Amino acid sequence: MIAYTPIDISCKIPEHELLVDYIEKNHITNLKDQYGYTSLLCAIASKNLILNWQDANDVFSNRTNKELTFAPGVTDIFPELIDIANLLPFKDILGLVLNLHTTLLESHRDDLLNLGVYSPERYNVLLSPHYEQDSFFISKEKHGEKHYPKILKEYPIYAFNNNEAYHGADIVLDKRVILILIGNLDEQKHIELINRSVEKFKDYVIRY
Ligand SMILES: [Fe+2]
């Protein structure tokens, strides 16, 4: 399987300081109490019906909306993030989340969406200047050898297999910010993009 590849899409990303400032002011405040998760998460778009974007119970509720809704101010402050979402091969975006790492992340798998979809099926974007720095790792076994993907400055979008490969973060990098995109993929467009990217970035691809 292809466990990791940079993605062949050039994009603009927001200023790091602006992102950190936004996350510090708008992150979900009860994540640790409700879910035991300690890094700062900030939902910026969702198909859930959200009244309070800082309340985990609201953000992760099962009340769905028909439309993707953006958190207040996001379309004005971070148009680059919306452009990125539109450039990726989703047929239906369910949520966009900013994540500012504050703690180590144990080796784990996520089995949420896109099970059985051509791997790698999870798209993230590195939004802070931590290119080519070890922290985020991928591993075939839960406690197997760790491989640190090289995330490229010119191509900060990457894809990895999040439901068969294990992954985590074993160093806390100062104010590392990623965008997590959750949605249903247009499989044909997704496969074309992955194959093109794997060919272009063959020296950076991780396979198991
Ligand atoms: Fe994960």
CA 88 to centroid of ligand 1, rounded, Å: 19
Is the model's pLDDT at 81 over the cut of 80?
A: yes
User: pLDDT at position 181, please?
Assistant: 96
Choose the weakest-confidence range: 60-69, 106-115, 172-181. 106-115
Is the model's pLDDT at 112 over the cut of 90?
A: no
- Cα distance between the two ends of the chain: 5
- Mean pLDDT over 82-92 rounds to 97
Model confidence, pTM? 0.95
CA 43 to centroid of ligand 1, rounded, Å: 16
Q: What is the CATH number of the domain that holds 195?
A: 2.60.120
CA 108 to centroid of ligand 1, rounded, Å: 6
Is the model's pLDDT at 128 over the cut of 80?
A: yes
User: pLDDT at position 113, please?
Assistant: 74
**Helical segments of the chain, H only:** 16-26, 31-35, 56-59, 74-77, 79-87, 187-200
User: pLDDT at position 38, please?
Assistant: 82
What are the tens digits of pLDDT across the range 130-157? 998 899 999 999 999 999 999 999 999 9
Is the model's pLDDT at 84 over the cut of 90?
A: yes
Per-residue pLDDT band for 115 (boundaries 50, 70, 90) equals: confident
CA 70 to centroid of ligand 1, rounded, Å: 23
Neighbours of 154 (CB within 10 A): 8
Output the CA angle 77-82-86, nearest 5 degrees: 165
User: pLDDT at position 66, please?
Assistant: 84
Phi, psi of 71 (to 5 degrees): -65, 155
User: pLDDT at position 9, please?
Assistant: 98
Domain of residue 92, residue span? 2-207
What are the tens digits of pLDDT across the range 92-105? 999 999 999 999 99
Average pLDDT, the chain: 94
- Mean pLDDT over 106-124 rounds to 88
What are the tens digits of pLDDT across the range 32-61? 887 778 889 999 999 999 999 999 999 988
CA 104 to centroid of ligand 1, rounded, Å: 12
CA 161 to centroid of ligand 1, rounded, Å: 10
Domains: count for the chain: 1
User: pLDDT at position 10, please?
Assistant: 95
33 vs 136: CA distance, rounded Å:
25
CA 35 to centroid of ligand 1, rounded, Å: 14
CA 13 to centroid of ligand 1, rounded, Å: 22
- Mean pLDDT over 68-76 rounds to 96
Q: Look-up: residue for tokens 């990895």?
A: 160
Non-local CB neighbours of 151 within 8 Å, separated by 6+ positions: 6, 126, 130, 131, 132, 136, 158
Is the model's pLDDT at 17 over the cut of 90?
A: yes
157 vs 178: CA distance, rounded Å:
10
